[in-house]
Amino acid sequence: MNRPGRFPFHPALLLAALSVLTPRLEAQDAASSGDLRPVAAVTSVWTSPEAEPFAAPLASALLRELSGAGFKTEAHSGALNGTASDSALAAGLSSSVKARWAAVARCEMDGRRLVWRASVYDALDGALIASDAQGAFPGLSALPLLDQSASAVAREAWAQRARVIPGEPLEYRLRFTSRNEGARVAFGTGEGAREAGIIENGELLAPFTAFRAGDPVVVTVSGEGWWPRVSVFRPGPEDEILELPRLMPRADRMVSLGISTTRLLGAQAEYRHFLSDDALFLRAADSLWLQYTFTPGSVPVLHNEVRLGAGTYLFLPRDSRFRMAVMTGVSGILTLAFPGDLADKFYFDATFDAFSLSLEWHTSGTWMFFLEQRYPYSLGLASGLLTRGWAQSDGPPMILTAGVMKRW
């Protein structure tokens, strides 16, 4: 069988042409990583004469794809080398030209099969940040595959362009403080989390773990009666106490006390019972207020409203500080007129809360603050004072109630 034909061009001539066509970089300020220039230097290496014709096209594709991805690039001549590793070639190239990134296009023959590898190294620490290896029959059909490898490597390398040198291994055990006594602390999340210990007397000295300074450490804190919380720390080279955020308690009951517009001479108390923790709930409320204009001839009137309904929290997580709840329900209002000369002293109205919205700010403890917007619709009972329609009594149909809640 005939051997594959050699390409009519010499790879050294192609690389020389590429170096002419590639814009030369002028002197630049030193990068933040030292005297390395923010440049991707591209070279090639082949381990046998049969592999040489493919090394130059792979280097050309790498140069083109890296430039297209956003890198500033430089082309450097390749060589026959069967012993040096890609990492050693990349380190030597970066050292000689002061380039932050070094890309190596390697081609070799494995029997009658062409094998290639495109790799990009970061000179900050010599790490391999992108690589792709493939093989094919050594003919023209391999050229599109070379382009695919170069494209994949360029995308992967560009995604790693902002990486920094990993910190030195920590030589101390992480220490945590928390106000959630008895909470469990773990490194990581989910089933793969590794237990670190339990908060005792407000602190925890975790078992030694091989973290690096500056790298993110994911910590999950959980416990009976609290919603779990995930935090990320970046410990430095020196031993410091890490403060864990306070957990939000789970709630299956709430009580509140508030005051409403148009009902300033009174107060409202409410009880909530949760059907599911911090989500769906039933509610019962009682409002008692005095209506009086403090003008000659005015009649003091005492109102008592009992409300029953249901509600649910929307959108935001259960451990969020800010939460929203929508509610609906019915109510009955008993009215008592004080003057003894009135024929009718008692009145009864019924309303339907078509829509109520509670905006709440939850503290990290058991207290929270709320502002409720309510639109009651009067059923217009003959025994009452309110006509059918949106309830209005010396004010707009929307009733605003503000107050505090306690949960447990």
The strand pair at 37-46 and 99-110 is best described as parallel
Does the residue 165 lie in any domain? Answer: no
Within 10 Å of residue 215's Cβ, how many Cβ atoms?
A: 14
My answer on whether 260 and 290 are in the same domain is yes
Q: So what's the pLDDT on residue 77?
A: 92
Q: So what's the pLDDT on residue 357?
A: 94
Cβ–Cβ < 8 Å for 150, 158? no
My answer on whether 284 and 342 are in the same domain is yes
CATH at residue 100: 3.40.50
Give the ranges where 185-283 is alpha helix by DSSP (H): none
Band of the pLDDT at 158, cuts 50, 70, 90?
Answer: very high
My answer on whether 24 and 119 are in the same domain is yes
Q: So what's the pLDDT on residue 384?
A: 86
Average pLDDT estimate for 371-377: 92
Does the residue 375 lie in any domain? Answer: yes
Cβ–Cβ < 8 Å for 332, 348? yes
Q: What is the Cα–Cα distance from 210 to 50, expressed in whole angstroms?
A: 46
**For 175-206, what is each residue's pLDDT tens digit?**
999 999 999 999 999 888 999 999 999 999 99
**Mean predicted lDDT score pLDDT of the chain:** 86
My answer on whether 338 and 315 are in the same domain is yes
Does the residue 150 lie in any domain? Answer: yes
Does the residue 334 lie in any domain? Answer: yes
Q: So what's the pLDDT on residue 297?
A: 66
- Whether the per-residue pLDDT at 121 is higher than 60: the answer is yes
> Which structural domain, as residue segments, surrounds residue 237?
175-243
Calculated CA dihedral for residues 268, 269, 275, 280, nearest 10 degrees: 30
Strand partners, 217: 233
- Whether the per-residue pLDDT at 285 is higher than 70: the answer is yes
Q: What is the Cα–Cα distance from 11 to 44, expressed in whole angstroms?
A: 10
Q: What are phi and psi of 138, to 5 degrees?
A: -75, 75
Collapsing DSSP states into helix, strand and coil, what is residue 94?
Answer: helix
Collapsing DSSP states into helix, strand and coil, what is residue 163?
Answer: coil
My answer on whether 367 and 228 are in the same domain is no
CA-based nearest residue to 373, from 391, 396, 355: 355
User: What is the pTM (predicted TM-score) of this model?
Assistant: 0.56
Looking at 243, 267, 296, the residue that finishes a domain is 243
Q: What is the Cα–Cα distance from 121 to 94, expressed in whole angstroms?
A: 9
CA-based nearest residue to 92, from 56, 47, 58, 43: 43
My answer on whether 365 and 280 are in the same domain is yes
Number of domains in the chain: 3
Does the residue 350 lie in any domain? Answer: yes
CA-based nearest residue to 106, from 58, 167, 143, 144: 58
Collapsing DSSP states into helix, strand and coil, what is residue 195?
Answer: strand
Does the residue 5 lie in any domain? Answer: no
Strand partners, 259: 402
Does the residue 170 lie in any domain? Answer: no
Q: So what's the pLDDT on residue 156?
A: 96
My answer on whether 126 and 188 are in the same domain is no
- Whether the per-residue pLDDT at 2 is higher than 50: the answer is no
My answer on whether 151 and 287 are in the same domain is no
Looking at 131, 159, 187, the residue that finishes a domain is 159
Burial (Cβ within 10 Å: 0-12, 13-18, ≥19) of residue 50? middle
Q: So what's the pLDDT on residue 34?
A: 55
Residue with tokens 């259960």: 318
**For 52-75, what is each residue's pLDDT tens digit?**
999 999 999 999 999 999 999 999
The strand pair at 37-46 and 73-75 is best described as parallel
Band of the pLDDT at 5, cuts 50, 70, 90?
Answer: very low
My answer on whether 379 and 273 are in the same domain is yes
Does the residue 6 lie in any domain? Answer: no
My answer on whether 126 and 89 are in the same domain is yes
The 8 Å CB, 24+ separation contacts for 117-122 are 117/86, 118/58, 118/61, 118/62, 118/149, 118/150, 118/153, 119/86, 119/90, 119/153, 120/40, 120/66, 120/153, 120/156, 120/157, 121/86, 121/87, 121/90, 121/91, 121/94, 122/160, 122/163
Which amino acid is residue 323, in one-letter code?
A: R
DSSP line for 332-395: EEEEEE--TT-S--EEEEEEEEEEEEEEEEE-SSSEEEEEEEEEEEE---TTSSPPSEE--SSS
Burial 246-277 (b: 16+ CB within 10 A, else e): bbbbbbeebebebbbebbeebbbebebebeee
Looking at 124, 159, 194, the residue that finishes a domain is 159
Of the given ranges (65-69, 103-107, 210-214, 400-404), which has the lowest mean pLDDT? 210-214
My answer on whether 264 and 322 are in the same domain is yes
Q: So what's the pLDDT on residue 394?
A: 52
My answer on whether 326 and 360 are in the same domain is yes
Q: Nearest-5° angle of CA 29, CA 31, CA 35?
A: 85
Q: What is the Cα–Cα distance from 56 to 54, expressed in whole angstroms?
A: 6
Helical (H) or strand (E) element with 19:
helix 11-21
**For 377-386, what is each residue's pLDDT tens digit?**
999 898 988 8
